[in-house]
Amino acid sequence: METIKTAVVVVLLLAVLYGVYVVLNKPELAPPPQAAAWDEDTAAPPQVEMGVPNPLHGLQPMPLDQQAAQSSPSTPAASLPADPTQIAASVPQASITRITAPDPAAVPPATPAPGASAPAAPSVSRSPLETEQAGTKLASASIAAEPLVTPRHQAAAGTPEPVSEDDPPAAPAGTDAQPQRSIYAEAAKAEAQDRAEFRSIRAFDNAWNSAVAQLQKGQWSEALLTLSFFFHDPDLTGEERQRLLDLLDPLAGKVIYSDEHTLEGPYTVKPGERLADIAERFQLPVGLLQNINGIATPDALQPGTPLKVLRGPFRAEIDLKRSEMVLFLGKYYAGRFSVSVGNDPMPQASEYQVLAKEAGREYVGVNGVRIPPKSADNPYGALYLDLGNHVGIHGSPDKLPPSGGLGCLSLSAADVADVYGILSVGSKVTIR
């Protein structure tokens, strides 16, 4: 019995040993041909289909060339239709004449500032507030795109690095220590100046394009208001300012001094109303309403007659450095005139008010010399607007005196007639 058990154990051991021998001596399997060319470093990971739809399917970014082809740039001014409408002659004149309306086709679109790759402005109209916001966003984007120069780079360029207060530099022998300029303060100042200039330029470009779009739609008063905001902009270049004035002047002639109802609807004359009553209600000179509406006999005004009216009074701003007087009707630009500044007396920068309007005024010089009104050598000319404290706006003499400088704020005979007929008693006059 014991012999049988021993034999079984021996047989099992031999079977196990044979199996181990077979496993150890089994040849390696050759890889398939496809795996022979497989590289671990360059092989792409397996693509697994999850079965979930892609939420961005169909929203892939369009190539830049296709974006440029499908974008809608602003309509160039050259393609705008011409408007044959006739409007009032240049900015205010004593007798309003007729001139050609500003042609939208002749108004060029704004060109971007040099070095700025701004996209073309859309051809839709923008309000002044939206224009300012758009300029602010563009300015912020430009500033964020420009990396600040580190002090190390500035030092390499020759600018001294800021020195810590704990370790101040020693002053050279025989010289006083010079105060250290803050690099960061100068950089912040330059950055703020660049931001203001870029914002102003972009705001003007946007406003110009908006005005072109408004002119295309026949929105004359809206275009005048859009551009009037930039009359005092000190950041405009000489070319931009001239372009602005070349459009403001005819626009003011059409919107304000023509008989077209561009600012508000016509006023209907009521029974028993006189032109003087209507002028007083709207704080305008009677002569201005008469000229605008072409009324030959103001005393024979018929009830039911439609009249163009303006909500006055006008105001004036006088720039002593530019020797220029500018008129405004509320926020609307209303014309400009050249003015000669005298020294009898020398006008001072301040706020004034038209106290009286006189058709001729006696001139009394500082030496006591008196010249009667409307004399050929009277420095005041034929018309005088009293601003108080011996300051006045007046015409020019027919005969120029040998010594110049007489009078205060002198206009030509034609210009003073316009100003006299536009400003009312009570109109504000600002001298800068």
Per-residue pLDDT, 299: 87
- What is the spatial distance between Cα 224 and Cα 248, in angstroms, rounded to a whole number? 7
Per-residue pLDDT, 55: 37
- What is the spatial distance between Cα 15 and Cα 388, in angstroms, rounded to a whole number? 132
N-terminal to C-terminal alpha carbon distance within the chain: 135
Per-residue pLDDT, 319: 97
Domain locations in the chain as residue ranges: 73-104+124-144+182-257, 267-307, 315-431
Check if the beta carbon of residue 259 is closer than 8 Å to that of residue 292.
Answer: yes
Per-residue pLDDT, 61: 40
Check if the beta carbon of residue 206 is closer than 8 Å to that of residue 134.
Answer: yes
Per-residue pLDDT, 84: 32
Strand 350-353 to strand 428-431: parallel, antiparallel, or no bridges (unpaired)? antiparallel
Q: Which of 93, 48, 102, 17 is nearest to 292 (CA)?
A: 93
Q: Which two tokens stand for residue 424?
A: 């009312």
Which CATH superfamily includes the segment(s) 267-307?
A: LysM domain (3.10.350.10)
Buried/exposed code over 310-348 (b: 16+ C-beta within 10 A; e: otherwise): bebbbbbbbbeeeeebbbbbeebbbbbbebebbeeeebe
Check if the beta carbon of residue 266 is closer than 8 Å to that of residue 306.
Answer: yes
- What is the spatial distance between Cα 333 and Cα 311, in angstroms, rounded to a whole number? 14
Check if the beta carbon of residue 215 is closer than 8 Å to that of residue 255.
Answer: no
Per-residue pLDDT, 25: 78
- What is the spatial distance between Cα 66 and Cα 190, in angstroms, rounded to a whole number? 38
Q: Which of 415, 386, 420, 426 is nearest to 287 (CA)?
A: 420
Q: Which two tokens stand for residue 116?
A: 């700025």
Give phi and psi for 34, each to the nearest 5.
-65, -30
User: 156: how many CB neighbours lie within 10 A of its CB?
Assistant: 10
Per-residue pLDDT, 369: 86
3-state secondary structure of 95: coil
Per-residue pLDDT, 69: 41
User: 365: how many CB neighbours lie within 10 A of its CB?
Assistant: 11
Check if the beta carbon of residue 161 is closer than 8 Å to that of residue 154.
Answer: yes
CATH number of 315-431: 2.40.440.10
| Beta bridge partners of residue 350, listed in sequence order | 431
- Single-letter amino acid code for the residue at 200: S
Mean pLDDT, consecutive 10-residue stretches, the chain (432 aa), reads: 84 86 71 56 50 39 40 35 38 39 61 44 40 41 37 41 44 46 58 57 88 96 96 93 96 96 95 95 96 92 95 97 97 97 91 96 86 90 95 88 76 96 97 96
pTM, two decimals, is 0.59
Cis omega before residue 234 (within 30°)?
no
Check if the beta carbon of residue 251 is closer than 8 Å to that of residue 102.
Answer: yes
| DSSP string across 273-329 | --HHHHHHHTT--HHHHHHHHT-S-GGGPPTT-EE-------EEEEETTTTEEEEEE
- Single-letter amino acid code for the residue at 186: E
3-state secondary structure of 188: helix
Check if the beta carbon of residue 308 is closer than 8 Å to that of residue 259.
Answer: yes
